[in-house]
A and B are shown apart, each in its own frame.
Chain A
Amino acid sequence: MLRQLKTRWWKALAVVLLLYTFTAGMLIDVPARFVLHETIRNLFFHVPVWFTMILLLLVSLIYSTLYLRHGKLAYDIVAEQLAKVAVVFGVLGFLTGALWGNYTWGDTFSWLFADTKILGAFIGLLIYVAYFILRGSVPDEEKRARISSVYSIFAYILLIVFIFVIPRLTDSLHPGNGGNPAFSTYDLDNTMRLVFYPAVFAYFLTGCWIASQLIRLRILHYRKHNINI
């Protein structure tokens, strides 16, 4: 697994896809909508940030379960660093969403607390900030890895339940919730799909790339203290 961190092909793929996303995302024809206007292009930039956060956290969760099964410290390092990158993507999602919402949904930010999608995202960030605080307060490495893995699995699975079940029950300005039609029905026509899915993949690979740097850094830290991972 750790050997994969140094291979190049998927990083090259990330670069190519990211370049494609940023050029095609600005240049292709998009359907004209009221309120949104050109900002419908943010579908290629803001939305994949959230998808990436959820995906990175999912991979982090897989590594947490692997840690609980096999007890190898390397798995825990991967889980922690992926969560770190995911939190950065989450913060970026908030900032970009605030800018976009400010120009389309109104600049009073009253939509911020009424929307369940935003609530879910906010809870996700809170959970992982708490996760890092939990890690900070357990000095023993093996114990820290075990406890934080348990918390991460517990909280993340509940978060997924909230995100994918609650919004269907309540109001949201985001598409696909509370009576709003989903993207698939009108926004995401077929040309937009051609940019959207590569965009998600590009961001995800970029996130993995950054995480791989952090993981290698962490391993170096252990090696400095003569611990081989």
Chain B
Amino acid sequence: MKAFYKALFSIIAITLVSPVAALAQEASGQPEMATGMRSNGLIFVVVGVIVIILGGLFLFLIRIDRKLNKMEREIDNKS
């Protein structure tokens, strides 16, 4: 179960970080073109926003899930 969470977390983390990597490439001195995140009329900014929202909510849900697991274990041990 723990490995599953780790994998899920790293997937979310990679998707969250990749826009930042694109941003870093952009910083090098070339004239500003509509590349990377800026291509197709900035649509990837919208994608990034969606990914952050979904990623954040899923991380939160995972936390609740773990709490629930812990609670179930404690109640099982007690009875």
Contacts and interface: CB of A to CB of B under 8 A. Distances in A.
B53 interface: yes
B64 A22 contact: no
Contact of A96 (B53, B60, B61, B64): B53
The interface residues of chain A, by DSSP majority, are classed as helix
Nearest to B78: A224
Interface size class, chain A: 20 to 34
B12 to A, nearest CB: 13
Nearest to A32: B41
A206 B71 contact: no
Given A37-B42, A88-B60, A103-B38, A96 B68 contact: no
A213 B23 CA distance: 37
B25 to A, nearest CB: 13
Contact of A214 (B38, B43, B49, B64): B64
Nearest to A46: B49
Contacts of A20: none
A221 B71 contact: yes
A108 to B, nearest CB: 12
Interface in B1-59: 19, 23, 37-38, 40-43, 45-46, 48-50, 52-53, 56-57
Contact of B75 (A92, A104, A224): A224
B72 to A, nearest CB: 9
A210 B45 contact: no
A92 B41 contact: no
Interface of B is mostly: helix
B64 A217 contact: yes
A78 to B, nearest CB: 16
A96 B61 CA distance: 19
B61 A26 contact: no
B56 to A, nearest CB: 4
A92 B45 contact: no
B39 to A, nearest CB: 10
B71 A99 contact: no
A100 B49 contact: yes
A93 to B, nearest CB: 9
A92 B55 CA distance: 9
Contacts of B19: 99
B23 to A, nearest CB: 8
A125 to B, nearest CB: 14
Nearest to B72: A220
A22 B52 contact: no
A22 B46 CA distance: 11
A-B complex: 9 closest residue pairs judged by Cβ atoms: A37-B41, A38-B41, A38-B43, A96-B49, A92-B56, A37-B42, A39-B42, A41-B46, A103-B45
